[in-house]
Structures are given as structure tokens and as C-alpha cells.
Amino acid sequence: MKRILAFVLALCMLLALCACASEKEPAANDDTNPGTPDNATRHKIGVVLYGIDDPMAKTAYTYINHAAELYDCEVLWAIGDLDTAGQLKSCENMVSAGVEGLLYMPYDDSLNSSVSKLCAENEVYFATMFRSINDADIKAECEANPYYAANVHENDEEVGYFLTQCLADAGCKQITANQMSAANGFAYDRSQGCVKAAADNGMEIVGAIQNSGTGDAQEVINSMTNVLTLYPDCQGYFMLSGALGVGTTVINTLSGLGEKGFFKVAGFDTYEGMKKDFEDGWLVGMAGGCGPDALFSFICLFNAVDGTPLSDSTIWLTQKMVTVTSAEDCDVYEAYVDNADHLLYDDDTLKSLVGRFNPDVTLKDVEDLMALYSIEWIKEVTK
Amino acid sequence: MEKNKEKTMGLMKRFIPYAGLLLIVVVFALTTGGRFLTLKNLRIVTMQAMIPMIAAVGTTFVMAHNNLDFSLGGGCALCCVVAFRLTGGENLFLIFLLCMLTGLLCGTATSLIHIKGRIPAFMAGMCIMFIGRGVIDVAIMNNNGVMKLMGDVSFFANIRFYLVVLLAVVVVGYFLFNRTKIGKYQKLIGSNPVAAKLSGINVEKYKFLAFLVSGATLGIASLLTILRLGSLTATVGQGLETDVLISLCLGGMSMSGGSTSSIRAAVIGPLSYFLLVNGMTLWGIDPHIVYVVKAIVFLIMAFITVDRSKTKVVL
């Protein structure tokens, strides 16, 4: 009897709560007309990022927050999701929280399909950063969605080729590399660059270093040790990503296996302390500095949300990477690139890229600014 | 006096999960400007909680006899890989059968390693977890592109279908747990395995059945995972065992199993967990604080629900 009563009570409670629920969204400012900067709508944009511990992520975080402050936009952050399901949950929760735009870095092409449907159903603009879309069907599906504002990604294959060339120039004939699937957009493009450069330089790629992308140091250490034991003639490592502490872990592991510089590393996603590793002869090339990718994705998304889109269709932009090949370059890099305390773009420049402050802005303005990006340009603007 | 105190504690343990859920709903309903209790938001939370809920129903059987099943995430990955590889993402019915079969195999393997190998169940589960993660990495690596579901699955990939499946699983799970020997004996074994054995219960057989039930619900959860994501990813199922464990704890499930175990923990727990996370997102608080809050809530619930008469502290 008590159980029945308890059940009935619970059911009544649930029904009462559901009665409070409403299909109708809470009153929100539906005005997408940006108006003038002084009386413009304050938008809310959600951003999903894997973390803010490494320089690139920290820079992306700082750029977006700074731009949001300038544009009087509220940013909702979801940090720490390292799997597709987690990212999807965060996107859904943000849509529930009433964001008008969603910016995320997809770990997998398949997330784009799910988010595209979610955003289409809820009339939320979305943009992706740091990743292209490799799967043709998913790419077509996203591009057909009028809410897909922009995709900004790096010139991964080109830089992958360059970094492998650095290994070849350092005398490596046999190298190892990370193995990642074609479903992982950025990794596939970077790997393709490596494969092509290896073929052109007569290098052999052996073994495979495991890196699940979660920053699991032990996984990297074990994998490296195993590969170097199996392939004692291996001379170099093409590192797909040094983020999440992997770069430091790799060099620490190598330091315990032989004298300084006996093995060469070239890779993506810079990490703190790499200057010393260049000096010690471990590193022959690193590529990074793609923090502005997040900024330009955010700018394109904000324009779409604010009613001043830079294009009628999905914007595809390529963010150049900064390559570092010496300890001297590291000084400039660490001072001005991927340094959250120093932003490369001033407030006037950032405002000039948004329709609210500059009604004459075009997509070409954004492209021209992005095209300048290089270590030479950075040295120039920071003189 | 002692008896009254015990009775009060027992009542508290039973009602705290309900109170917790109610508290979460009320607090967030009042502080999120009306966004929390919208049908859209509740629908989203339900979709998120569905998969851990279904997996938790089966895991309840395992936890009731005082074991932990860490095979869920890897097992889910294994189910998805097998289903996709053998069907190419076509024929949803075949995908379902393969998920169920693989789930049952995972449950069987875990239980055999635990029972026959005399290896603690959590270690056996971890073996399956590593196998599953390894297999899916290889499968993804060897596939050129994304493994997607083919054809129109919109009829199944929606909340109505999910709710029907959930209801079926919960009803069957409730019936098995409370009305059949499969469930009742789990609680007996969890309370006192020696006494259960001396009473004539085939402890090994019922433990095996518990893992089988867990495997079956894992298969169903895997199918829903495939429907939700629409494709196979390298990270499928990641963290499922942790989500289920935390959810069951929030639902009032004792970590040591026994007679207080209940299927309601599998329903209330995941709902509370995902409503909590959703509510904190609506608040817009620092994501790092969300982790801290989750940890604190988990600790509090574990503290309340653990049966101290069975636990020993080694100093």
C-alpha cells in the first residue's frame, strides 16, 4: 500500500512539474537586426573546446573572450570533452541554454552531422574551427544547411609535408608517425602530407605511435618505447600533435633512451619548453600558432548571428600555421604567437571585421588579413 | 533506540535520491529563467540520460551482488564495431541482433573470467574494456572514412522510440529484479554470499545470469548509441562505465550491493546526473567547476549509501 502511495505521489509530482513546462521558449530578444553598436542586441554564443591547458587552446580561449567582450557578446564555454558523445551533449545543453550560435572543434567528422541536424531544428548558427570535414556526404549535408556559417581549418597537408621535409633535411631515412583514421579530419590531412614528403625523399615510415588524443602520457611513453625497440634504425618521429602535454612527454621519453639529439622530432601543435628541445637537437621543426583560427571562426559566426553574414553560403577559410625551425624563432614565437598575454590583432582590426561596427566589411577583408599571417609578419607587426 | 536509528537511516537512504532529484529540478527551474523546464530541454536531457539508464538497469543486477562492471564502455565499442563491420551500416534489425549478441558475449566473457578465473569482476571488466577500445581503434584505422548508418533511420532515431525502448527495459528489468530468482538472489548474494551459498543458492550461476542481463542491456544501449551518433567513432562508449557508476550512486544504489539495491536507482540516478550537468550548463558556470561539483555530489551520495557494516578500512 505504501509503495503504491509513494508511486502515485511521485507520478503526481512529475505531472505537476511537467505542467510547469512549456513548449514556448522564454521571452528573448528576437531582434537580429544589429542596429548601431550602442543599441545592438547582446548575443549569446556557445563554444566547445577540448581544454585550455596548452598554448594553442589558451590562445583560442583568450581571443574568443576578447572578441566577445568587444562585440558585447556573451560566451558560454564547455571545456574538457574529449569524445564525440560528450561534445554532442555539450552542444545540446548549450542549445537548451539559448545560444544563438555554436562554435566547436569536432573530434570526428560524424559530430558535424549530428550538430547540423540539432542546429537546423533549433535555428542556431554553427561554425567549426581547427578541423575540416573529410567525409564527402557529411560535408555536403553541412553545406546544405543554411545555418552552417563557417569552417576554418589549417593548411595541414602542406605543413605536414614541410615538417617531414625538415626530418629529411636532418638526415632521417627511417621515421615513425602517429596513426589516425580518415574519419579524423586534421590528422588525416597531416598524415597525407607526411606520406607524400616521405615518398618524395625516399624515407621509410615504420611502426605507429599511439596517441588517442586524450593526452594520456603513459600511452605515448609505452608506444614510443615499443616502436624504438622494434625499429632500432628509426631516426625520426612525425608527431601529429604535441598538444595536451604530448610534446613534453615525447622528449622526456627520448631523453631517457639515449644522448641528446640522437632522435629527431618534427610535429604539430607547439608546447611550452620547445626552445630548449631545439637547442638540444631533438626538434627540427614545429608548427603551430593556429590560435587565430578560433578567432576568425568566431568572427564569421558572430556576423551570421548578428544578421550581417559575410557570405550567403558556408564560408571556408584556411588558417596558415607558423612554422618554427630554430631556437631563435622560438623567442619570437613564444613572445607573440600562442601567447595568451599578447594578442596579434588590435581592437580596431577586430571591430573592422564585424558588420555591426563596419557595415562595409567583406569576406575578402578577412581573407586578406589571414593571408598575411606568418612569422615574418609577426616580427614586423611586433617591432 | 539502535533499531529506530537504523530504521531512520534506512528510510533516509531510500528517499534521499528522490529528494535529490526534486531539489535539482526545483533549484534549476527557479534559477534559469524558465529554460530548464521547457519540453525541448527535458527532451534533450532525456535523450542524454537514456543510454546510461538502459545500461544501468543491467548493471544493477551486477552491483546488487556486490560487483562492479567496468566493461560497459569497451563492450559498447565492441558491439558497435561488430554491428557496423558485419552489416556495413545497413539493416537496423541485423544491427540490433548483432549488438545484443555481442553484448551477451561480453557479459559471458566477463563473468567467466571472474567466476572461473577467480579474478575480481572489475578486473575482468577492464579486460573487456581494453579489448573493446583496441578493436575499435583498429576498425576505425582500417576504414577509409566514416562508418555511417545507411538509409533513413529517422523513425528510430527519435525520442519516442527511445522512450518505448526505455520503458520496455525498465519494466522487464523491474520484473526480473523483484519478481524472479534472477534478481532476488542477487540481493541475497550481495548481502551475504556465504549465507546464500549455504542456503542452497548456486551463487556462480546467478552471478553469471547477472552479467548476462548486463550484457543484454549493454547491447540495447549500444544500438541506441549507434542511432544517436549516426556513425561509428573511435570514442564511442567512452566513459559509459563511469557515467553509469556515478548515476547509480546518485540513484541511491549502495556500492556494496545487497538488499537495498533497487532498479529505481537506474532511473533516478541518470536523470539526476544529467539534469545536474544540464542545469549547470544553463547557469553558464565555469566548466571546471562542473567537474568539482560532480565529484562532491558523488562523494556525498557514496558516503550516504555505502553499507558500513560490510566495509573494512585497512590502516
* Average pLDDT value for residue range A213-234: 79
Size of chain A, expressed as the number of residues it contains? 383
pTM of the model: 0.82
| A293-303 pLDDT tens trace | 999 999 999 99
Residues of chain B neighbouring A210 (CB-CB closer than 8 A):
137
Cell numbers found for residue A259: 644522448
Helix axes B39-64, B203-229, angle to 10 degrees: 160
Coil vs helix vs strand at A168: helix
Q: What is the ipTM of this complex?
A: 0.84
| pLDDT score for A215 | 59
- Closest-CA distance, B302 to chain A, in angstroms, reads 24
- Closest-CA distance, A117 to chain B, in angstroms, reads 11
- Any bridge partners for residue B38, and if so which? A22
Q: Do B236 and A84 touch (CB under 8 A)?
A: yes
Optimal mutation site among B233, B273, B282, B288, interface A, most CBs of chain A within 10 A: B233
Residues B66 and B122: their CA atoms lie apart, in Å, by 11
Residues A61 and A56: their CA atoms lie apart, in Å, by 9
Which of A266, A301, A305, A268 is closest to A283 using CA atoms? A266
Q: Do B238 and A83 touch (CB under 8 A)?
A: yes
Q: Do B141 and A179 touch (CB under 8 A)?
A: yes
| pLDDT score for A5 | 57
The beta-carbon neighbor of B234 closest among A24, A25, A108 is A108
End-to-end, the C-alpha distance of chain A in Å comes to 82
Residue A192, Cβ neighbours under 10 Å: how many?
A: 15
| A3-56 pLDDT tens trace | 665 565 566 555 545 544 444 444 444 444 444 555 678 999 999 998 888 778
Letter string b/e over residues A275-297, b meaning 16 or more CB atoms within 10 A of that residue's CB: bebbeeebbbbbbbbbbbbbbbb
The beta-carbon neighbor of A17 closest among B37, B44, B143 is B37
| pLDDT score for A208 | 73
Residues B27 and B46: their CA atoms lie apart, in Å, by 18
A-chain residue closest to B142, CA distance: A181
Optimal mutation site among B18, B40, B247, interface A, most CBs of chain A within 10 A: B40
Q: Do B143 and A182 touch (CB under 8 A)?
A: yes
Q: DSSP string covering A83-119, please?
A: SHHHHHHHHHHHHHTT-SEEEE--SSHHHHHHHHHHH
Is the pLDDT confidence value at A362 over 80? yes
- Closest-CA distance, B193 to chain A, in angstroms, reads 28
| A339-355 pLDDT tens trace | 777 788 999 999 999 99
Optimal mutation site among A42, A64, A114, A181, interface B, most CBs of chain B within 10 A: A181
Q: Do B282 and A135 touch (CB under 8 A)?
A: no
Identity at A354, one-letter amino acid code: V
Residues B139 and A181: their CA atoms lie apart, in Å, by 9
Q: Do A108 and B143 touch (CB under 8 A)?
A: no
Residues A115 and B160: their CA atoms lie apart, in Å, by 20
The beta-carbon neighbor of B34 closest among A26, A76, A77 is A26
The beta-carbon neighbor of A183 closest among B33, B38, B233 is B233
The beta-carbon neighbor of B278 closest among A80, A93, A179 is A93
Secondary structure element (H or E) that encloses residue A318, with its range: strand A315-319
| pLDDT score for A8 | 58
Contact between A176 and A144 under an 8 Å Cβ cutoff? The reply is: no
End-to-end, the C-alpha distance of chain B in Å comes to 31
- Closest-CA distance, B203 to chain A, in angstroms, reads 30
Residues A347 and A339: their CA atoms lie apart, in Å, by 17
Q: Where are the alpha helices (DSSP H) in A170-245?
A: 185-200, 217-230
Which residues of A214-282 form beta strands (DSSP E)?
A: 236-239, 264-268
Q: DSSP string covering A345-378, please?
A: S-HHHHHHTSTTT-TT--HHHHHHHHHT-SHHHH
Using the 8-state DSSP alphabet, how is residue A27 labeled?
A: P
The residue ranking higher by pLDDT, B290 or A147, is: A147
Which of A129, A167, A383 is closest to A287 using CA atoms? A167
Residues B125 and B75: their CA atoms lie apart, in Å, by 9
Q: Do B38 and A135 touch (CB under 8 A)?
A: no
pLDDT band at A95 (very low <50, low <70, confident <90, very high): very high
- Closest-CA distance, A106 to chain B, in angstroms, reads 12
Residues of chain A neighbouring B235 (CB-CB closer than 8 A):
82-85, 107-108
Which of B272, B278, B244 is closest to B53 using CA atoms? B244
Collect all residues with Cβ–Cβ distance below 8 Å to A225 and sequence separation of at least 6: A253, A257
Distance of CA B116 to the CA centre of its chain: 25
Q: DSSP string covering A115-135, please?
A: HHHHHHHHT-EEEEES-----
Residues A201 and A205: their CA atoms lie apart, in Å, by 11
Task: Report phi then psi at A16, rounded to 5.
Answer: -65, -40
Q: Do A20 and B37 touch (CB under 8 A)?
A: yes
Lowest mean pLDDT among A43-57, A156-170, A175-189, B163-177: A175-189
| pLDDT score for B220 | 96
Q: What is the pLDDT along chain B (315 residues), one digit of tens a residue?
A: 666 776 776 777 778 888 889 989 999 999 988 889 999 899 999 999 999 999 999 999 999 999 999 999 999 999 999 999 899 888 889 999 999 999 999 999 999 999 999 999 999 999 999 999 989 888 887 776 678 887 777 788 888 999 999 999 999 999 999 999 999 999 999 999 899 999 999 999 999 999 999 999 999 999 999 999 888 888 889 889 999 999 998 898 888 888 889 999 999 999 999 999 999 988 888 777 887 888 888 888 777 766 666 555 444
Which residue do the cell numbers 532515431 mark?
Answer: B157
Residues B97 and B90: their CA atoms lie apart, in Å, by 13
pLDDT band at A141 (very low <50, low <70, confident <90, very high): very high
* Average pLDDT value for residue range A177-192: 73
Q: Do A23 and B140 touch (CB under 8 A)?
A: no
Q: Do B35 and A80 touch (CB under 8 A)?
A: no
The beta-carbon neighbor of A97 closest among B39, B45, B282 is B282
CA triple A141-A143-A144, angle to 5 deg: 65
Coil vs helix vs strand at A285: strand
